[in-house]
A and B are shown apart, each in its own frame.
Chain A
């Protein structure tokens, strides 16, 4: 069983459309992080959400942490081809701050011009 379930696994949309991807768990996390990974490169940190119910915005990207801190979502407004990539969520499964992050399998987004 995957500790962090991401959905959808694949998403292909037209430029200008909005989309939401999800990261769910049955476990409570003290924080969750979102990364974007492009082909042949390592993941790049986008944001860390810490407080239940927290909303963070990064230009056209909006990240939300669930009230119970078991889930998170990423909403992209007016998607652009440059948003194409693998979106990964990650968390510390033992909430100790001293354990390595566990990653979900990711959502592979393709934005078509």
Chain B
């Protein structure tokens, strides 16, 4: 297993465009998380899945954001009508279910909205 993969690593887009990011978790992990990280901050929770079910969404996840995890494998995060404030590193992580299991993060997708 090669760990958690995220694609693309970098994305530059014009304000108002839609973008989609992909995350491939560790295959044995049934939980998948999306976080956003801006400069000087720790990762902020956006949403997470257990298998294909989206169990929780943060209030940070406006209606312009949508995430899916069809078939409980890879996940996509789409941002519609991007704004400059969406510029951030978008991190995906996966884990097993249960207390005290650590997260394995991908390298992230850095989004720049110009």
Contacts and interface: CB of A to CB of B under 8 A. Distances in A.
Interface stretch (A14-22, A57-65, A70-78, A94-102): A94-102
B107 A41 contact: yes
A42 B93 contact: yes
Chain A interface size, under 10 / 10 to 19 / 20 to 34 / 35 or more: 20 to 34
Contacts of A24: none
Chain B interface size, under 10 / 10 to 19 / 20 to 34 / 35 or more: 20 to 34
Contact of B43 (A6, A41, A88, A98): A88
Interface stretch (B13-21, B61-69, B97-105): B97-105
Nearest to B93: A42
Given A41-B107, A42-B4, A44-B105, A106 B100 contact: no
A24 to B, nearest CB: 14
Given A100-B33, A100-B56, A103-B42, 5 more contacts: A41-B107, A43-B91, A43-B103, A98-B97, A100-B45
